[in-house]
Amino acid sequence: MQGMIGYLKGEVKLKTPEGVILLVNDVGYDIFLPTSEKSNLVIGQERELFIYTHVREDVLSLYGFTDYQSLEFFKMLLTVSGIGPKVALAIISSSSIEKLQQSISNGDPTLLSTVSGVGKKTAEKAVVELKGKLGFVGHNGKIFEGGDTEEIYSCLSGLGFKREEITEGIRKLPETVTSVDDKIKELIKTIGRNNK
């Protein structure tokens, strides 16, 4: 749904059991937050939050995050059937985004299945559905985006490289290599050397 609240900046007026009330231009917004982010907010402090607006029948709920990466991950979790906003928030509250993304990228549902409200089947489904969208985690914990990754796989597979060696090559890419073209050139060199 377009036109919903996506960002708010204001004073932390009050902490609630599930989040905060953020005062913006004399209007108090009741916002759900992950527990780790809530604990970092101080009453009276001005903060900015990236917002997901959830509308269901006669209920409008706001979910807030202090960084955009967390909001994007939250929205990605919502694409899995069986995971609603409350469960997605519980998942993000359970561990760091990096650890959660790493376990999904590695195809391991164990971390997700420990979260209250996430059954074993839902955790396994989430891992299967989100693994491709996330890309995967490199050796330094850096997430490689799914879109870039698929383009790289497609190009290098066409040149005859195996998926496993492409994956291994991407994991070892230096952080300084950022564009898709540069990644492909670097991989052709490194994988080519390994095959000699």
Q: Is residue 1 part of a domain?
A: no
> Is this model's pTM higher than 0.95 or not?
no
Q: Where are the beta strands (DSSP E) in the chain?
A: 7-16, 19-24, 27-32, 46-56, 59-65, 136-137, 143-144
For residue range 14-64, list pLDDT tens digits in order: 999 999 999 999 999 999 999 888 888 999 999 999 999 998 888 889 999
What is residue 142's DSSP assignment? P
What tokens were used for 190?
Answer: 């490194």
CA distances from 42 to 11, 38, 110, 190 (A): 9, 9, 33, 49
For residue range 72-110, list pLDDT tens digits in order: 889 889 988 889 999 999 999 998 888 888 888 778 888
The answer to whether 170 touches 144, Cβ cutoff 8 Å, is yes
Q: Is residue 2 part of a domain?
A: no
For residues 108 and 51, state if they share a domain: no
Domain count, the chain: 3
Where in the sequence is the domain holding 16, given as residue range(s)?
A: 7-65
For residues 48 and 78, state if they share a domain: no
For residue range 108-163, list pLDDT tens digits in order: 888 898 888 888 888 888 888 887 666 544 444 444 555 566 677 777 877 888 77
- CATH code, 11: 2.40.50.140
- CATH code, 85: 1.10.150.20
For residues 72 and 129, state if they share a domain: yes
Q: Is residue 149 part of a domain?
A: yes
